[in-house]
Structure 1
């Protein structure tokens, strides 16, 4: 599995608060078990991939829940990076519209901000197939909650 790519200044900012981003994003979470890889991450854009194989429903099609996991993960990472080390991003609303079914390949999600405020952040996530055809459009809103200094060590 590829390492999550964060800009060095973000790695340094979180490390200064005692947060190891690489460890946080490779700790056996759901996305990791599904083969989700975050390829690029900043508050302005988060890109990740997910294999169709192993993430299908009984008919052999990409499971809508798998697309939702990819969308929520990418949007949450963007919101987390927007909030910085003093905020915890918690998803409060996710909606997904599925446009196309897939049986094989890799899907790529790109999360971009719709709104980045002081207490909430909303991201649009477009998930496409290997031929750059839209598979799913999602929108995630996260609440940005203040965390106590001792709780910063994710």
Structure 2
């Protein structure tokens, strides 16, 4: 297991109250030994004007997963800040839920790199993102 902090899904979901995570309806749904997963609805909050999942909303889901996963890998007063995020939008989604799955590619003393795969309800990959974080 890579996590250094104790956390429940309830506690992680409570972190979204009063900020963009809660506003977009992002919900943590699985905390495994080496993976963190969350869902986000594709609705009026997350669609672009042409009716498709907004790429920026996918990036919010990806950065949320990577940042929270990064924090779970820290101890004490350490914090995690994003340095770089990139995302490839591979498939359009019009409705339903998307599910992001986050795994560590690198867990160093000063930096972390996270791979986030976002899929539609049929399990088809719609976005592949990578987040680099710094530990401060």
Structure 1 stretches of at least 4 aligned residues deviating more than 6 Å after TM superposition? none
5+ residue gaps, structure 1: 1-6, 13-20, 146-154
Using the TM superposition, give the Cα deviation of residue 23 of structure 1 relative to its aligned residue in structure 2, in angstroms.
8.0
TM-score calculated relative to the size of structure 2 = 0.88
Q: 1:82 — aligned with what?
A: 73
5+ residue gaps, structure 2: none
Q: Is the 8 A contact 1:50 1:107 kept in 2?
A: yes
Question: Secondary structure at the residue paired with 1:65?
Answer: helix
Using the TM superposition, give the Cα deviation of residue 117 of structure 1 relative to its aligned residue in structure 2, in angstroms.
0.8
Relative to structure 1, the CA distance from residue 48 to residue 23 in structure 2 (aligned partners, 3 Å threshold; closer, same or farther) is closer
* Structure 1 or 2: more helix by fraction: 1
Aligned mates of 2:101, 2:13 — CA distance in 1: 22
Q: 1:39 — aligned with what?
A: 29
- Are 1:65 and 2:50 counterparts? no
Q: 2:6 — aligned with what?
A: 10
Q: 2:131 — aligned with what?
A: 140
Aligned mates of 1:64, 1:71 — CA distance in 2: 11
TM-score calculated relative to the size of structure 1 = 0.78
Aligned mates of 1:110, 1:129 — CA distance in 2: 12
> Greater CA radius of gyration, 1 or 2?
1
Q: 2:117 — aligned with what?
A: 126
Q: 1:52 — aligned with what?
A: 42
Report how many residues are paired: 130
How far does the alpha carbon of each residue in 1:105-127 deviate from its partner, in whole angstroms, 9 at most, with x for none?
10000000000011111100000
RMSD: 2.0
